[in-house]
Structure 1
Amino acid sequence: MGAAKHPRRPKRSLVVHGNAPLTEKGRLRLARCIVDDGWPIARAAERFQVSRPTATRWAQRYREAGPAGMADRSSRPARSPRRTPQPVVRKIVHLRWKQRLGPVAIAGRVGVAPWTVHGVLTSCGINRLWHVDRVTGEPVRRYEMTRPGELVHVDVKKLGNIPDGGGWRAHGPEQGGRNRQAHRDPTRPRKVHGRPNLGYCYVHSAVDAYSRLAYSEPLDDETAATALAFWARARAFFASHGITVERVLTDNGAAYISHAWRDEHTALGIKHSRTRPRRPQTNGKVERLNRTLMEEWAYRRLFTSERARRAALSGWLHHYNHHRPHTALGNLPPISRCINVTEQYT
């Protein structure tokens, strides 16, 4: 197995600690007093407020290497008999990069202790995976737009509808199952035998990449006509906040590869880009919004009907845009980056 590549830590300049009595220049003055001027060790040590062994050491280094000998030296021992062998280190690094394994899983494969694996990962600078793409192992390339509207991310999140009276999350499997059966639409065929087909809620979302201002709607499908109608309302929402959309980024959903979507954006003069297949990370800002929607809106409360859940979305979006701190914006809400904050232009 060849040596695996991993990021190297940048070389850091050694900094003298706060209690050190001598800097490199101070050591040089001490050594010159002893070697060049003939001062006794005791006198030089007293003058520079150091011990006699310290004065002797710097004088000896000055005799051997001159001014260059005054620099700090590594404290690493010349020999480390118990150091992890390099073949094992290479295997640990390979498993980390290629299979995204943690210390315990790697330890079981290479036959060393988990804390040994953790030490190797730390020394190689790969003990954290937040900065690495989970699929390719390459460093994550994060980008920041320079103005509102330069790029807007668009996506759809699919959720199962909640039956009237509440589903299994609110009442458990038994009562939730009865509610689902009672709420079943006879005109909607069952896709799985014995399970009522209640349909889905398709949450269409658009996020401005610069301000993180978000607009979402819960709709009944994800067809091209529905997506275009949502996109028209989303553009009007952004325009009311002083944002003119220049470019939109979507995945390769059927609505976004349709001729209707293409023709609409050609007429509007908006550039449309699509992500690579099976690469949702490229559309990461709206994917992250989808995750936040699930955690803080869709599953935060035990809704007793689909109507109640959909009605709660607009209030949550106002909180998200106007009050919820965003870490990428220095813990400020998205509205803080908008031009028309007070809506005085509408």
Structure 2
Amino acid sequence: MQQCLAIDRATRWVFIELYADQTDGSSGDFLNKVQQACPVKIVKLLTDNGSQFTDRFTAGGKKKEPSGTHVFDRLCKQLGIEHRLIPPRHPQTNGMVERFNGRISDIVNQTRFGSAAELESTLRNYVKIYNHSIPQRALQHKTPVQALKEWHEKRPELFRKRVYNQPGLDI
């Protein structure tokens, strides 16, 4: 299983999906799903240089610039999202994702899963707990959902939909 992960930089809100592969199709599906789930209007998106997101290293030319014709780039353009790429060989630019991947690795390495569905369920539950119940020091000890609510009160024009708490987190 391969994961796709989105993190809002301002609120640390997380969205995750698991896929059997890393293809243009799965990255496009992920973008559509995160667009539907995210309460904030997505205007900029930072990804790594994986072939599911860009043709930067397969496009012609010496400068290794993306062509803009990759499926993911076209979908971003259609949705009005500016697609940015991290510099090659600089994963620290995407530090929030790298840190969250470390948290997920800790969970995955400490647990034996009976099936892919069990792994997916565990990760979804963790993301729900993370978004709703785990305060973040960078957010002055608020949860991502609390930060989203504050942003919504201050700048409602940045949002597509209202932010709600989800009951039933005592999993």
Q: 2:31 aligned with 1:223, yes or no?
A: no
Structure 2 CA distance, aligned partners of 1:277 and 1:332?
33
1:253 to 26, 37, 50: 50
Structure 1 CA distance, aligned partners of 2:52 and 2:114?
31
Displacement, 1:301?
2.4
RMSD of aligned Cα (Å): 1.5
Displacement, 1:249?
0.3
1:235 to 35, 40, 46: 35
Structure 2 CA distance, aligned partners of 1:316 and 1:229?
22
Displacement, 1:255?
1.2
* Partner in structure 1 of residue 80 of structure 2: 269
TM-score by length of 1: 0.39
Query: For each residue in 1:17-75, what CA deviation from the matched residue of structure 2 results, as whole angstroms up to 9, or x when unmatched?
Result: xxxxxxxxxxxxxxxxxxxxxxxxxxxxxxxxxxxxxxxxxxxxxxxxxxxxxxxxxxx
Counterpart of 1:329, as a letter, is L
Q: Could you tell me which runs of 5 or more consecutive residues in structure 2 were left unpaired when the two chains were aligned.
A: 56-69, 153-161, 166-171
Q: Could you tell me which runs of 5 or more consecutive residues in structure 1 were left unpaired when the two chains were aligned.
A: 1-200
SS of the residue aligned with 2:45? strand
Query: For each residue in 1:112-142, what CA deviation from the matched residue of structure 2 results, as whole angstroms up to 9, or x when unmatched?
Result: xxxxxxxxxxxxxxxxxxxxxxxxxxxxxxx
Counterpart of 2:49, as a letter, is N
1:287 to 98, 109, 120: 98
SS of the residue aligned with 2:110? coil
Structure 2 CA distance, aligned partners of 1:287 and 1:306?
22
Structure 2 CA distance, aligned partners of 1:284 and 1:336?
22
Structure 2 CA distance, aligned partners of 1:294 and 1:327?
21
306 and 269 in structure 1: CA distance in 2 versus 1, 3 angstrom threshold: closer
2:134 to 313, 324, 332: 324
* Partner in structure 1 of residue 117 of structure 2: 307
220 and 330 in structure 1: CA distance in 2 versus 1, 3 angstrom threshold: same
SS of the residue aligned with 1:331? coil
Counterpart of 2:74, as a letter, is D
Structure 2 CA distance, aligned partners of 1:224 and 1:286?
20
SS of the residue aligned with 1:261? helix
Taking CA–CA contacts closer than 8 Å with sequence separation of 6 or more, which of the two structures ends up with the larger relative contact order?
Answer: 2
SS of the residue aligned with 1:284? helix
268 and 307 in structure 1: CA distance in 2 versus 1, 3 angstrom threshold: closer
Question: Which runs of structure 2 are paired with 1:120-131 in the superposition (5 Å)?
Answer: none
Query: For each residue in 1:200-259, what CA deviation from the matched residue of structure 2 results, as whole angstroms up to 9, or x when unmatched?
Result: x10110000001100001110110111110111011110xx3x00010001111011141
Counterpart of 1:220, as a letter, is A
Query: For each residue in 1:271-307, what CA deviation from the matched residue of structure 2 results, as whole angstroms up to 9, or x when unmatched?
Result: 1110111000111111111111112x32232323333
SS of the residue aligned with 1:299? helix
Structure 1 CA distance, aligned partners of 2:115 and 2:32?
28
Structure 2 CA distance, aligned partners of 1:265 and 1:308?
32
Q: 2:145 aligned with 1:335, yes or no?
A: yes
Structure 2 CA distance, aligned partners of 1:270 and 1:229?
15
Q: 2:1 aligned with 1:213, yes or no?
A: no
Structure 2 CA distance, aligned partners of 1:342 and 1:307?
26
Alignment size in residue pairs: 139
Structure number, greater radius of gyration? 1
Structure 1 CA distance, aligned partners of 2:27 and 2:163?
27
Structure 2 CA distance, aligned partners of 1:272 and 1:304?
37
